Amino acid sequence: MKAWRVCDEQSYEGGSTVVFAETRGKAKVLAQMTDSCECAEYTDIRATRMPELDGYKDHECEMDWYDDNDRIALVKLGWSCLEPEDDVCMVAPCREFCERWEDEVFDR
């Protein structure tokens, strides 16, 4: 399965996720079932290939931000929390790879 970063182009929140599908069109359909794009029209969803994650998940159709291994993989590619919180960041398994965590540490 191919990995696709999907996002709602009309959303002001700016969130995105990664889904796994054979084609861009199938990725956009899957995207409509995610928190990031659940209210999006098909034509407003942007699906961009993420070949670095191809084959990462073979049993699920979406990366899970709350799974430690998935979160680490996403953060290594530039993802971060939309609203970082100190108590969550302190125990996050991905903090060593997170640019925002580094910024927060240096700002203290």
Can you give the residue range of the structural domain that contains 87? 64-108
What string of pLDDT tens digits covers the 108 residues of the chain?
899 999 999 988 878 999 999 999 999 999 999 999 999 999 999 999 999 999 887 768 999 988 889 989 998 998 877 666 666 666 677 777 777 655 554 454
Q: Say how far apart CA 6 and CA 97 lie, in whole Å.
A: 22
* 53 shares a domain with 69: no
Do residue 54 and residue 94 come from a single domain?
no
Final residue of a structural domain among 43, 63, 83: 63
Calculate the dihedral angle through the C-alpha atoms of 22, 25, 31, 37, rounding to the nearest 10 degrees.
160
